[in-house]
Amino acid sequence: MTCEEKARLASEYEMTSRKYADAVADLTRKMGTSAKAEYERLTRAADEARVKSEQSRLALEQHVAAHNC
């Protein structure tokens, strides 16, 4: 029996992790070549993506721990 909530949370974690990786890659590509304001915007975007990724990972881990699925 598959747990639909676990699958949903795993999918969300995959998506948020991918967005974080993309944000870091974008920041890395533009490092040293963008204006300070643009660099700060990219840094904030990467930080926000990291937090969302961590939150979705935690939600998945908590669900698995609570439901043993």
Residue ranges per structural domain of the chain: 4-67
Classify residue 57 by burial, with Cβ atoms within 10 Å: 0-12, 13-18, 19+: middle
pLDDT interval class at 2 (50, 70, 90): confident
**Contact assessment for residue 53 and residue 19, using Cβ atoms and an 8 Å cutoff:** yes
pLDDT tens-digit profile of 32-55? 899 999 999 999 999 999 999 999
Q: How many beta carbons lie within 10 A of that of residue 16, not counting itself?
A: 19
**Contact assessment for residue 20 and residue 57, using Cβ atoms and an 8 Å cutoff:** no
DSSP-derived letter for residue 40 is H
